[in-house]
Amino acid sequence: MSAPVFTAAHRQASTLYLPPGPWLTVLDCLCERFSAISREQWLDRIARGKVLDADGQPIAVDLAYREGLRIHYFREVPNETPIPVLESILYADEHLVVADKPHFLPVTPAGEYVEQTLLRRVIRTLDNPELVPLHRIDRHTAGLVLFSANKQTRSAYQALFPTRQIEKRYEAIAPALPDMAFPRVHKSRLVDGEPFFRMQEGEGPSNTETRVVVSEKKGGLWRYALYPVTGKKHQLRVHMAALGAGICNDPFYPDVLKDAVDDYSNPLKLLAQGLRFVDPVTGQERVFESRITLDW
């Protein structure tokens, strides 16, 4: 058997291990498994080499179904709506890339976003399909995102986050809290909330921690510096709402804004502003600052 021929581009594909079922062909399985995608669309993807077998080879349209067979396919969103914001690359070397993500742009493909993501845009700009994000920030949040550019050193950079060897600083604009003492540390237990895309504080030992500092005051709004010790989904948004100062223009917290659409003139006032760490490959101290600013 010949060796697999996966390219870096192939590693951007999604993977499916075929489940038990009565199908005669892989095509039949895909059509039933992903009923929102028509048979004609699957036929078109197969014809364009967008569905691969375990060796990275395009499958034949009549490839026989076999339970457990590994199939790779490339997600596509027909007529994907462009997101009219621009990212910038602040730093790039053979190991590390630092991008400044604008509000509203997702970091990675998900749901209705595939090409309109920071990852796909930076891959195209740098012509490096080996890029992998080392962490995530919300689509509504702007600011710094680190990418590994080299699979040989990737694990060293990935280890920075779970071992808390990286200092993250965020900035937020939110209502004033004149009756509360600052700086302060907010700890709580975050659990899945309702609807499914939200988080909420629950009972039990804390699994999140954020240090909150007031950096500027302007009437009824304050500018806060936020230092998350942990990195749970929506942590800063939930913590600020729990303190009684939901971040300005937040469509999810403290309440979900029904039928909210992206308003590019009024983004969430949350910015991943600074990152500091010792580079595990070079031993140098790295300090990166976002060039994006939050207006009052």
Judged against a pLDDT cut of 60, whether residue 131 lies above it is answered with yes
Residues 157 and 259 in one domain: yes
Residues 141 and 60 in one domain: no
Confidence category of residue 78, pLDDT binned at 50, 70, 90: low
Nearest CA to 215 out of 258, 156, 172, 257 is that of: 172
Name the token pair of 274.
């600074």
Give the pLDDT confidence of 264-289 residue by residue, as tens digits.
999 999 999 999 999 999 999 999 99
Residues 110 and 48 in one domain: no
Residues 60 and 120 in one domain: no
Residues 151 and 25 in one domain: no
pTM of the model: 0.78
Q: Is the dihedral of CA 211, 173, 102, 78 positive or negative?
A: positive
Residue pair 85/46 in contact (Cβ under 8 Å)? The answer is no
For residue 250, is it within any domain?
yes
Domain that holds residue 15: 10-73
- The total number of structural domains in the chain stands at 2
Judged against a pLDDT cut of 90, whether residue 109 lies above it is answered with no
* Cis, peptide link before residue 280, omega less than 30° from 0: no
Alpha carbons 85 and 262: distance in angstroms, whole number: 12
Residues 35 and 132 in one domain: no
Judged against a pLDDT cut of 60, whether residue 3 lies above it is answered with no
Residues 96 and 55 in one domain: no
Confidence category of residue 204, pLDDT binned at 50, 70, 90: very high
81 or 268: which leads in pLDDT: 268
Residues 61 and 141 in one domain: no
Residue pair 60/78 in contact (Cβ under 8 Å)? The answer is no
For residue 5, is it within any domain?
no
Residues 119 and 37 in one domain: no
For residue 294, is it within any domain?
no
Residues 186 and 52 in one domain: no
What per-residue confidence (pLDDT) applies to 9?
A: 46
Q: What is the mean pLDDT of residues 58-71?
A: 93
Nearest CA to 229 out of 214, 243, 245, 211 is that of: 211
What per-residue confidence (pLDDT) applies to 5?
A: 45
Cα 128 to the center of its chain, rounded Å: 18
Judged against a pLDDT cut of 70, whether residue 218 lies above it is answered with yes
Residues 191 and 275 in one domain: yes
Of 25, 43, 73, which residue sits at a domain end?
73
For residue 94, is it within any domain?
yes
Give the pLDDT confidence of 25-51 residue by residue, as tens digits.
999 999 998 887 889 889 988 988 889
For residue 296, is it within any domain?
no
Range of weakest confidence among 24-33, 201-210, 256-265: 256-265
**CATH number for the domain harbouring residue 30:** 3.10.290
Give the pLDDT confidence of 164-176 residue by residue, as tens digits.
999 999 999 999 9
**CATH number for the domain harbouring residue 256:** 3.30.2350.10
For residue 79, is it within any domain?
no
Residues 31 and 168 in one domain: no
